[in-house]
Structure 1
Amino acid sequence: MTSAPADAGPYTASRRAWPAFAACLVAVFMQMVDTTIVNIALPDLTTDLGASSADQLLVLTVYTLAFACTLMTASRIGERLGRRRVFIIALAGFTVASLLCGTAAGPGELIAARGLQGACAAFASAQTIAIISAIFPRARHGLVFGVYGATAGVAAMLGPVLGGALVGLDAFGLGWRTIFLVNLPFGVIACVIAARAMPPVVGTVRESLDAVGVALSTIGLFLLIYPLSTGREKGWPGWLLAMLAISIAVLVAFVLHERALLRRGGAPLLRLDLFAERSFAVGAVLSLLFFSVFTAFFFTVSITTQFGLGYSPLHTGLITLPFALGAAVGSLLSPMVVTRIGPRTLTVGMVVFAASVAWMAIVIDPARHDIAIASLIAPLVLGGLGTGVFVAPLQAVILSGTTSRTVGSASGTIPTVQQIGGSVGLAIIGIVFFALVGSASSAGASAGADDLRVRLGDTAVPAVAQPIVVSRFSDCVSRQLSSPRPEVSPPGCSAQGSDADAGPQAAIVREAQPALRPAARVAAARAFLEAFSTIMWIICATAAAVAAISLAVPRARAIVPVGTPASVG
């Protein structure tokens, strides 16, 4: 059985196509959930494993980085070795990597296991588009790819909700580890279904592996994303800046190599001729920008609510539930919208999302030192609705001009672009967000000091000592919030150990503790909410840009299924 033409083989009429499709959906659901579910567990795993803020970002970005670096190579290997075989092996590897993540004893182990998990996710994901294209006739592609796109989108949005529920339940006392271990039964089930129902899909032409392209793309992306993830905490040493500069040169060399190889009639890892198709080129830009803001949105929500406001993982997950519900509705409505206005569905979805983020930025008041959850329900539902409307048809728009010859390369290129967008967007927003927290440290310290003065009146701290306590508190809070590691108390500011061992000072600190804790929460809330509000406006502006760019998708271009010749209006 070959991957093209998709409706030519006897297998496409078999009822076994649907179980095979179900295995693909389970795989993509797990892969996309794992891009966002970890956000919720960051505070818990930070405490448990002693992870720094750079470690936290790496836990998030190494998954998408490994995903992005591996996808195009994975697609080519699938063409050569058989997509069914590679899919099953990769899915089994993803399941094993999830086990390693769930049993990690330190941040280094978790980061390594997450990298393996991302690489296995890439090898599985790179096969699914070609597999689905092969096992269903063209007449059903619109339906199955719509379901596939909606599943991927909703899974990513459900990640925080599922993560919050799992961490909150604390099954068997495993805490944050359950967000990884929950993949085990689903991975095993999907592997069994795929082994029984999925056909041996192979490419019509087994092209040689572009080893130079693999090396250049992998090295270039690593040199780009690693410094962005760790630079803020390390203070941007010269060697990290050099890595960024070298990454640009390596990625330019990659593009030049791919172009030269294509002109010689070779088999480049990235088919640059795909970008000559306007729908594909514009769709790739849309994917890059959208997934950068989408990943950053959930990251900043999780960090602000848990580190800034002290919410539990379950509480944070429930906050994002309206967004996930709206996304589910939007995904269901999207086909009807597409029928009426075609590619302009993308524009409508992003305009709605941008409006919802602006609404959130307006209703959040840092001076309240908390979030009025009721006021966020409507904008969150609206944001999810717009995201669902946008994501569901996005893949079909991008692939509407591909043919059976280019669908293999496209199946690796599309998710690569999405994962690069997520990795770079998360790294950049992380840098900006924590810089904004630092900028708001003075305001946070002032708000916390005002709260502390009032609360100290209800403690046994002597009146003469209260100004000293407030002064020290303000200094410590300001230094902590503006430091590269705002989750760690600066030297001399901890209430534990040598900072408060014995004597009058220790007694005063103990007496002040009932007032210090809530005052510190007020200070953190003020700084984090100010940063969060600014980030929402940045995301809003980027979403508006995505909406404007989506207007470049040709109106005459019908949203047609993979493998169907492009239509010309």
Structure 2
Amino acid sequence: MTELHATQVAARPRATASPLGPVALTTLLFGAFLPMLSFFIINVALPAIGSDLHASSGELQLVVGSYGIANATLLVVGGRLGDGFGRKRLFLIGLTGFTVMSLICAIAPTIGVLLAARVVQGAAAAAMTPQVLASITSLLTGEHRARAMAMFGVAGGAAAALGQILGGVLVEADVFGLGWRAVFLVNVPVGVLALAAAIRLLPETKANQTHRVDLVGAALLALTLVLLLLPLTEGRPLGWPLWTWLCLAATIPAVAVLGLHQHRAEQSGQAPLIPPTVLRLRAMRIGLLLAVAFFTTFGGFMFVFALATQGEAHMSPLEGGLSLLPMAVGFLITSIYGPRLQQRYGASLILRGWLVQAVGYAVLAVVALTLWPDVNPWKLAVPMLIAGFGSGLVMVPLMGVVVGQVPPAQAGLGSGILLTSQQTCLALGAATVGTAYLALAGTSWGQGGALAAVALAITAVSLLMTPVTHQLRSRA
């Protein structure tokens, strides 16, 4: 991503003297809201997509994963391009591409077209999202900046929590017979309005110092993710042919080559995609471990929950979405009050979140084991509320706490690495957790037992992360 600490307003000195107006800030925050919404709104529509486009379970995983891979690979590249060519310009390019690709997704006649459009949609989101944080940091100061950063967290949290509920409503309503296509089409009018407002209201900013884009690093990261995620998503339905094992084995040398390239790029004075010196910071190592644990399990759970509720439980898309309403409520509460709680409790707030989340998923496992498939939104409400509250306590303060323990000169790079890991692990969760769930669901465990197993696994991960989180209490 971009080095947020080194940014200054260019060409418009007047913009540094006055903060963004409320309409301009809201427009900018759509760059955080829409990409996250698009990741989660799709989950509840997956069964309908599979039925309409005759897609396999592996292809449905790729509908989620392909977007995440493209987004994760290009986030840092998008930030660097914004530094050099102008953040407003990159924001407009990204928002335009995201809107157009949303329309193409909505009218996709085959699963192949849908997957291709999702890749480009993820790339467009990667051009847009980094400009939000960079613009906030360069245009605002003091209380205005703190409030805008808090709103950035709320935007992402709201999108994650409300995405599947909105998806369920749109699929169930079947507006004009669109069915699942409405979950993509809803982005189009919002994108057009945001685009018109951004052209008029957003000031242009650039970084005082720019760095060459590490295209080789981006290509190596993309190759590594494809080698890892493609066999994990396609291996099970295809019976694990030889090529899947060869791809998985090739992941190891791919990681080694990526690491070597990043080290050499940094040693030669270039700006690598993932700087090794930042990864060597104690707070960053801990933060990355926490991010991997949370976003992999969270992304995987959202994927399997939609399949389970619309499978043996025979819920409609609307009922499946409404089952997530208590989680959304808990998530939104922590998104709103999280910044204030973070100031008071610091890293211990994340630790509390892991414990609360563990309780929620443990209760969900009990419900799935004892009541399945006779479940409905009401019977799932209590565990989903607890899990949502705990998830919000982990996710909302995570980036602020970790980056706050990184030296200011490396804070921007730390934020970019954490955002990249977020998108990577959301895609990884759909591939790994989704594959494990689908494998168990096809046995005597059934979908209820498989969902319970996933919930218990997340409970175990949450408990394992509590001693790791405790280490964040001391300064790096």
What is the TM-score when the length of structure 1 is the normalising length? Answer: 0.79
Matched, 1:106 2:115: no
Question: 1: CA distance between counterparts of 2:372 and 2:96?
Answer: 48
Matched, 1:161 2:165: yes
3-state DSSP class of the match of 1:552?
Answer: helix
8 A Cα contact 1:6 1:136, kept in partner: no
Q: Which amino acid counterpart does residue 452 of structure 2 have in structure 1? A: S
Q: Which amino acid counterpart does residue 307 of structure 2 have in structure 1? A: I
Equivalent position to 2:468, from 546, 549, 552: 549
Equivalent pairs counted in the alignment come to: 471
Q: Which amino acid counterpart does residue 453 of structure 2 have in structure 1? A: T
Q: Which residues in structure 2 correspond to 1:10-89 (within 5 Å)? A: 10-89=14-93
Give CA-to-partner distance per residue, 1:333-357, whole Å, 9 cap, x none.
3233223321111111121111110
Report what 2:437 is aligned to. Answer: 433
Give the CA deviation at 1:401.
4.3
Question: 1: CA distance between counterparts of 2:411 and 2:206?
Answer: 13
Q: Which amino acid counterpart does residue 176 of structure 1 have in structure 2? A: W
Q: Which residues in structure 2 correspond to 1:237-256 (within 5 Å)? A: 237-256=241-260
Alpha-carbon distance change, 305 to 75 in structure 1, aligned in 2, over 3 angstroms: same
Q: Which amino acid counterpart does residue 469 of structure 2 have in structure 1? A: S
Question: 2: CA distance between counterparts of 1:163 and 1:29?
Answer: 15
Identity %: 34
Q: Which amino acid counterpart does residue 114 of structure 1 have in structure 2? A: R
Report what 1:471 is aligned to. Answer: none
Question: 1: CA distance between counterparts of 2:415 and 2:340?
Answer: 25
Give CA-to-partner distance per residue, 1:31-55, whole Å, 9 cap, x none.
1111111111111111111111111
Matched, 1:147 2:175: no
Give the CA deviation at 1:178.
0.4
Question: 2: CA distance between counterparts of 1:18 and 1:271?
Answer: 35
Q: Which has the larger radius of gyration?
A: 1
Question: 1: CA distance between counterparts of 2:462 and 2:154?
Answer: 19
Give the CA deviation at 1:316.
0.4
Give CA-to-partner distance per residue, 1:205-245, whole Å, 9 cap, x none.
12122232122112111111111111111111111111111
Report what 1:118 is aligned to. Answer: 122
Report what 1:354 is aligned to. Answer: 358
Q: Which amino acid counterpart does residue 290 of structure 1 have in structure 2? A: F
Matched, 1:266 2:185: no
Question: 1: CA distance between counterparts of 2:146 and 2:252?
Answer: 38
Report what 1:292 is aligned to. Answer: 296
Report what 1:424 is aligned to. Answer: 428
8 A Cα contact 1:37 1:162, kept in partner: yes
3-state DSSP class of the match of 2:471?
Answer: coil
Question: 1: CA distance between counterparts of 2:168 and 2:41?
Answer: 8
Give the CA deviation at 1:543.
1.9
Give CA-to-partner distance per residue, 1:17-74, whole Å, 9 cap, x none.
5433212221211111111111111111111111111111111111111111221222
Question: Once structures 1 and 2 are overlaid, which stretch shifts more, 368-377 or 223-232?
Answer: 368-377
8 A Cα contact 1:290 1:546, kept in partner: no
Question: 2: CA distance between counterparts of 1:43 and 1:375?
Answer: 22
Where does the alignment leave 5 or more consecutive residues of structure 2 unmatched? Answer: none
- Give the CA RMSD over aligned residues: 2.1
Give CA-to-partner distance per residue, 1:310-335, whole Å, 9 cap, x none.
21100100110111011111222323
Question: 2: CA distance between counterparts of 1:27 and 1:224?
Answer: 28
Matched, 1:409 2:413: yes
Matched, 1:133 2:52: no
Q: Which residues in structure 2 correspond to 1:516-531 (within 5 Å)? A: 527-531=446-450
Question: 1: CA distance between counterparts of 2:21 and 2:275?
Answer: 29
Report what 2:382 is aligned to. Answer: 378
What is the TM-score when the length of structure 2 is the normalising length? Answer: 0.94
Give CA-to-partner distance per residue, 1:391-414, whole Å, 9 cap, x none.
222221232245675455344322
Give the CA deviation at 1:275.
2.2
3-state DSSP class of the match of 1:265?
Answer: coil
3-state DSSP class of the match of 2:42?
Answer: helix
Matched, 1:532 2:437: no
Matched, 1:309 2:313: yes
Alpha-carbon distance change, 351 to 10 in structure 1, aligned in 2, over 3 angstroms: farther
3-state DSSP class of the match of 2:216?
Answer: helix
Report what 2:211 is aligned to. Answer: 207
Question: 2: CA distance between counterparts of 1:116 and 1:241?
Answer: 27
Report what 1:176 is aligned to. Answer: 180
Q: Which amino acid counterpart does residue 249 of structure 1 have in structure 2? A: P
8 A Cα contact 2:364 2:380, kept in partner: yes
**Which of the pair is proportionally richer in helix?**
2
Give the CA deviation at 1:431.
1.5
Give the CA deviation at 1:108.
0.6
Question: 2: CA distance between counterparts of 1:97 and 1:131?
Answer: 24
Report what 1:400 is aligned to. Answer: 404
3-state DSSP class of the match of 1:440?
Answer: coil
8 A Cα contact 1:66 1:115, kept in partner: yes
Question: 2: CA distance between counterparts of 1:92 and 1:144?
Answer: 23
8 A Cα contact 1:168 1:312, kept in partner: yes
Question: 2: CA distance between counterparts of 1:61 and 1:158?
Answer: 20
Report what 1:363 is aligned to. Answer: 367
Where does the alignment leave 5 or more consecutive residues of structure 1 unmatched? Answer: 442-526, 558-569
Report what 1:518 is aligned to. Answer: none
Question: 2: CA distance between counterparts of 1:120 and 1:273?
Answer: 29
Matched, 1:224 2:143: no
Give CA-to-partner distance per residue, 1:254-305, whole Å, 9 cap, x none.
1111112212222212222222333333222211211111111111111101
